[in-house]
Amino acid sequence: MKRWLGRLALACLVGAIALVAVLIWNTTQYTLEPPVDVALEQPLLRVDTDRVATKLGRALRHETVSGGDADNASFAPFRAFLAQIESDFPLVHSRLQRTLINELTPVYHWRGRDPNRAPILLIGHYDVVPVLEDTLDDWVESPFSGQVSAGHVWGRGALDNKGAVIAMLEAVELMLEAGVQPARSVWLAFGHDEEIGGRDGAQAVKAHFQANGVRFDWVLDEGSMVLDGIVPGLSKPLASINTAEKGYFSVDVVAKSEGGHSSLPTDELAVEILAEALLDIRDNPVPGFYDGITADFFDAIGPAMPYGQRIAFANRWLTSDVLARILSGANTTNAMLRTTTAPTMLTASPRENVLPSEVRATINFRVHPRDSLDGIVDHLITVIDDTRVRVEPDPRGF
C-alpha cells in the first residue's frame, strides 16, 4: 500500500512538473507579433493638433441632440454643424462630391486614381445623446462648451462620435492640401440620427449606395479610440481596431396585479413583482464566454500583460473558464464577453396614491454576435420564471 501511494505521489509530482513546464514554455513563446513595415505611397503628413482641437471644439458647441421622435426634432443645430464643417474644411467641400441624404446626412465621394479598384467607406455620426439635467454639476466644463483646456477638448460627443468625424475630415483636408489622391475611391458618410436607430441616416445611406450599385472593399464604422487604463492589467495605451459590432435590442418586462388605492395595499403589488423580476434578470445575465473575437482580442494584447496574467492568456486551453470569471468582474471587459443587460426605463402609477395594475420596465441589450434575439427572450422567461410577468420585445429597440 505504501509503495502504491509512493508511486502515485511521484506520478503526481512528475505531472505537476510537466504541467508547469508546459505553462512556462507556452508563455515564453507567447510574444507580440513583430511590427510590419509598410511602404507608404506618400510621406506622413504633419498634423496641427491645436488646429484640430479648435475645430472639434467648434463642432461640440452645436447641440445636435437626437430626439425620441426624429419627425419632431429641431434640426437647426444640425444644419449649423454642417455649415461649420463646410467652413472648416474648404478643400473637402470644393473637391469632393457631396450628397445630402435626407438633407442632414452628408455623403462625400473622393475619387481615386484607379477606377478598377473597389472603393472603401468611412462612417461616423454627429448626433449625440441628451444631457440629463441632474448631471450638469458633474461636468468639468459645460457639455456644449467645446472648451479646449488642460489637454482636453470638453463636450458631449467628443468621443461619440464628433471626434472621429472631425479627425476623418481633417485627414482628408491635409491630404488634399498636400496634393494627395488615393489609389482607390474613398467615400465618407456622417449620420445625423445614429443614436435613435439611424433610420434616416445610415439606413438611408445604405439604400442610396444599393440604388447606385456602389459596393465596397471594406467599411470602417466609427473606428475606436485609444484605451488607456480600460483593460485591467494593461499598463500601455491600446489602439484597438473593432472587427465586430454588437446588436441593439430592447424588451419590455411587464408585471400585473390587482391595483387599487395606496390606503389599502394588497398582498401582491405589481411594483414588487417587477422589482423581483429585475433582480433575477440582473443576477442572471446572458452567459458569456472567452471565445471567438473576444479571445482573438486578448490573444493580441495578452503578451503585453504582466507575467502572471500572461501565463493565463498564453494557456487558455486550461484557463479559459478562469479568464471568463476574472474578465466578468470589470464592466469594460465583461461587455466583451457577453450580451449586456441594462434596465433603463420604468413606467408605473400616474399618481403617488394609486396602486398600478400594470408596471413596465424597458431593458436594453447590446447583443453579442454569438447570441440571437429569440435566445435572449427565452433566457429572460426562464430566469424570471413567473407567470405574472410577461416579456414583450420592444419594436422601438431593434
Which residues form the catalytic set? 127, 194
Question: For residue 61, with 0-12 CB atoms within 10 Å meaning exposed, 13-18 middle and 19 or more buried, which class applies?
Answer: middle
Set of cell numbers at residue 46:
504633419
- Report angle CA 357, 359, 364 to the nearest 5 degrees: 165
How large is the C-alpha radius of gyration of the chain? 27
